[in-house]
Amino acid sequence: MLDKTKDLSACAQAWLDEFERALGRPDPATLDRLFLADSFWRDVLALSWNLQTIAGREMIVQALDALAPEAAPVNFRIAPNRAPPRWVTRAGTNTIETIFTFETATGRGSGILRLIPDTADGDRPKAWTLLTALDELKGFEEQLGTSRPRGQAYSRDFRGPNWLDLRSASRDYADRDPAVLVVGGGQAGLAIAARLKQLKVDALIVDREMRIGNNWRKRYHALTLHNQVQVNHLPYMPFPPNWPVYIPKDKLANWFEAYVDAMELNFWTGTEFAGGAYDEANGRWTVTLRRVDGSTRTMHPRHVIMATGVSGIANIPDIPTLDNFRGTLLHSSRYGDGESWTGKRAIVIGTGNSGHDIAQDLHSSGAEVTLVQRAATLVTNIEPSAQLAYATYNEGTLEDNDLIAASMPTPLAKKTHVMLTEQSKQLDKELLDGLSRVGFKLDFGEAGTGWQFKYLTRGGGYYFNVGCSNLIVEGKIRLRQFADIEGFVTEGARMKDGTLLPADLIVLSTGYKPQEYLVRKLFGEAIADRVGPIWGFGDGFELRNMYARTRQPGLWFIAGSLAQCRINSKYLALQIKAIEEGILGREVGTA
């Protein structure tokens, strides 16, 4: 075993030096000796201009041999002012983790190297995982910190437009079209627009809501984020240090307004994206925007980024006989709060986060609530269990932790989450046993991978318990199974045993349709078929059609948590900038 007291920096730099020499020849035999047989290489734009994960030493060596000559990666060095090389445990394995920097022909990047002693080769340290990620394009660096722009005070024109005049003209688009149209003004839209702004790519956000932040502000009354504040910063502008651990929805919505103003993002509220068609010959879109006053505007952006979330269309399942019900029927997306339902009877169908939270909100308002379960659901306490996945963010810098998050190949991330799920089951045993006793059907994700991979594959199917599960165990919120419902009648639901489950309100907490439904609606069958499935993994290691070029030139997708949007907006913006500057081709697979 490698001596843990050995100079880790010397060990890591020696590997990086040998790696650089092997890439420069190239020398497949030397590269082969640098990697473990079951190693992984994730490249984020740096050598391949793709987001891709390659598994296995033989495939990694082949890919490096093919990509290195054109990318010309050099100057691999341990990153200064970052976490130093150290022993850590990742996916249950002890490894030396090193953050490094490097350059390519077109840019500069950062990466993470994880070394494990190869017992079959005299404990020689070999790469278990390697990340190479592009940080910036040479000649197009962001103007931040000491390189920030000087502004008008440096060369002021007393008779010309001031800052406010220039901002208004930029936002109005009276005499130009944006290079990029961002559809959706939530965290995804704000993150990518902020990144593009720093790269001097003209971007306009459009959102049908009348106020920035309403996509959070108008959600149900009691909503707060389910992960902690240190994970959720937007790019460039972290939340203040006095903010609460769990951010309330209205506080976040107000922050979005402040962020748009502070980051000088162009944003049109009350504007609906009505669809678009792509002009192959001119490499641009013709899109229609419908304003709240009834007017329309036709624009010709070169890029359209769909930032409408994992999905944007409410899923209203075809439930036979539901139209017999004569009370109030709502999808969870239209639920506000329970104040008007005091003393009334409510049925909430669906046991994900929204279903549980709405049931708890109605109960707290004095309603008689029955939660109806349609399928087995993962339940985990919000603390500490649900926060285990974010443990790295409790120490170190945001920059380091984001790179660590980007560095974990999907197979090892799954292994990690299997371990975390088992840990959560032990921590939550009393609660889970109680739920099982009252008939709640539990599951723990495909192959036990837990809530994170439920989110990454289907966008839901889990609940972070903030008290509703306890109310179910105590019988204060009643639980019924959807399979036990015979049908719906005027007064509520008729059960198969003949009893009536009366209701004044039925809330369908049944999630949202996949994003490809929205693509089909806005862009037509041909483009939807060309793009294919969005989100989830399919047979690969990367999320499908997310944060990268799609088979439809000029059409991009960004979605996910605040952390996902913060991390991946950087890489999406770099691709668009590279295309705008002629460095990268518009088609998938072109450089």
* The pair of three-digit structure tokens given for residue 490, joined into one six-digit string: 């005027």
pLDDT at 155 (0 to 100):
63
pLDDT at 156 (0 to 100):
66
The last residue of a domain, from among 510, 529, 555? 510
* The pair of three-digit structure tokens given for residue 329, joined into one six-digit string: 């029927």
pLDDT at 154 (0 to 100):
57
Whether residue 518 is found in the same domain as residue 506: no
The answer on pLDDT for 590 being more than 90 is no
Q: What angle do CA 291, 559, 529 make, to 5 degrees?
A: 80
Least confident residue range of 18-32, 48-62, 192-206:
18-32
User: Looking at residue 377, what DSSP letter applies?
Assistant: B
In tens, the pLDDT along 308-352 reads: 976 568 889 999 999 999 999 999 989 988 999 999 999 999 999
Whether residue 66 is found in the same domain as residue 124: yes
For residue 41, being part of any structural domain is answered with: yes
Q: Which residue has the tokens 């990153």?
A: 79
DSSP secondary structure string for all residues of 113-165: EEEEEEGGGTTEEEEEEEEEEEEEETT-----GGG----TTTS--TTS--HHH
In tens, the pLDDT along 447-460 reads: 999 999 999 998 88
CA distance 486 to 392: 48
For residue 65, being part of any structural domain is answered with: yes
Q: Which residue has the tokens 């409790």?
A: 394
User: Looking at residue 254, what DSSP letter applies?
Assistant: H
Q: At 423, which helix (H) or strand (E)?
A: helix 410-427
Whether residue 220 is found in the same domain as residue 335: no
Whole-number CA gyration radius for the chain: 26
End-to-end CA, the chain:
43
What integer best gives the mean pLDDT of the chain?
94
Q: Which residue has the tokens 């443990």?
A: 391
CA distance 247 to 186: 15
Q: 3-state class of 69 per DSSP?
A: helix
For 231, phi then psi, to 5°, come to -90, -20
In tens, the pLDDT along 129-152 reads: 999 999 999 999 998 887 787 765
Q: Which residue has the tokens 């993002």?
A: 265
CATH number, domain with residue 49: 3.10.450.50
Q: At 250, which helix (H) or strand (E)?
A: helix 249-262
User: Which amino acid, residue 419?
Assistant: M
In tens, the pLDDT along 173-220 reads: 999 999 999 999 999 999 999 999 999 999 999 999 999 999 999 888
Q: Which residue has the tokens 């920097």?
A: 101
The answer on pLDDT for 158 being more than 90 is no
Of 354, 366, 583, nearest to 460 by C-alpha is: 354
For residue 468, being part of any structural domain is answered with: yes
For residue 155, being part of any structural domain is answered with: no
Whether residue 91 is found in the same domain as residue 214: no
pLDDT at 213 (0 to 100):
96
Reported pTM? 0.94
Whether residue 55 is found in the same domain as residue 129: yes
DSSP secondary structure string for all residues of 187-239: HHHHHHHHHHHHTT--EEEE-SSSSTTHHHHTS-TT-B-SS-GGG-PBTTBPP
**285 in Cβ contact with 554 (< 8 Å):** yes
For 416, phi then psi, to 5°, come to -60, -45
DSSP secondary structure string for all residues of 491-556: TEEEETTS-EEE-SEEEE---EE-HHHHHHHHH-HHHHHHH---SS-TTSSS-TTSSS--SSTTEE
For residue 68, being part of any structural domain is answered with: yes
pLDDT at 220 (0 to 100):
82
Total structural domains within the chain: 3
Least confident residue range of 6-15, 70-79, 205-214:
6-15
The answer on pLDDT for 301 being more than 90 is yes
In tens, the pLDDT along 359-372 reads: 999 999 999 999 99
Q: Which residue has the tokens 């004095």?
A: 366
For residue 195, being part of any structural domain is answered with: yes
- Alpha carbon separation from 113 to 19, 292, 302, 418, 531 (Å, rounded): 11, 51, 37, 23, 33
- Containing structural domain, residue 112: 8-137
Sign of CA dihedral 205, 206, 212, 213: negative
pLDDT at 264 (0 to 100):
97
Q: Which residue has the tokens 């339902």?
A: 341
Whether residue 177 is found in the same domain as residue 270: yes
Give 369's strand partners: 346
CATH number, domain with residue 428: 3.50.50.60
CA distance 568 to 576: 13
Whether residue 222 is found in the same domain as residue 340: no
With bands split at pLDDT 50, 70 and 90, how would you rate the model's confidence at 28? Answer: confident
The last residue of a domain, from among 477, 494, 510? 510
pLDDT at 379 (0 to 100):
97
Sign of CA dihedral 205, 211, 212, 213: negative
For residue 40, being part of any structural domain is answered with: yes
Whether residue 551 is found in the same domain as residue 408: no
Whether residue 304 is found in the same domain as residue 334: no
CA within 13 Å, CB half, 59: 10
Q: 3-state class of 37 per DSSP?
A: strand
User: Looking at residue 463, what DSSP letter applies?
Assistant: E
pLDDT at 153 (0 to 100):
56
In tens, the pLDDT along 477-508 reads: 999 999 999 999 999 999 999 999 999 999 99
Average pLDDT over residues 78-97: 96
Neighbour-count burial of 319, counting CB atoms closer than 10 A to its CB (0-12 exposed, 13-18 middle, 19+ buried)? middle
For residue 412, being part of any structural domain is answered with: yes
Whether residue 119 is found in the same domain as residue 251: no
Give 467's strand partners: none
Average pLDDT over residues 98-120: 97
Of 175, 207, 182, 183, nearest to 197 by C-alpha is: 182
CA within 13 Å, CB half, 390: 21
pLDDT at 513 (0 to 100):
87
pLDDT at 588 (0 to 100):
82
* The pair of three-digit structure tokens given for residue 28, joined into one six-digit string: 């497949």
CA distance 24 to 196: 33
**Cβ contacts of 432 within 8 Å, gap of 6 or more:** 379, 425, 442
CA distance 470 to 437: 12
Whether residue 333 is found in the same domain as residue 438: yes
The last residue of a domain, from among 103, 137, 171? 137
pLDDT at 148 (0 to 100):
81
Whether residue 340 is found in the same domain as residue 457: yes
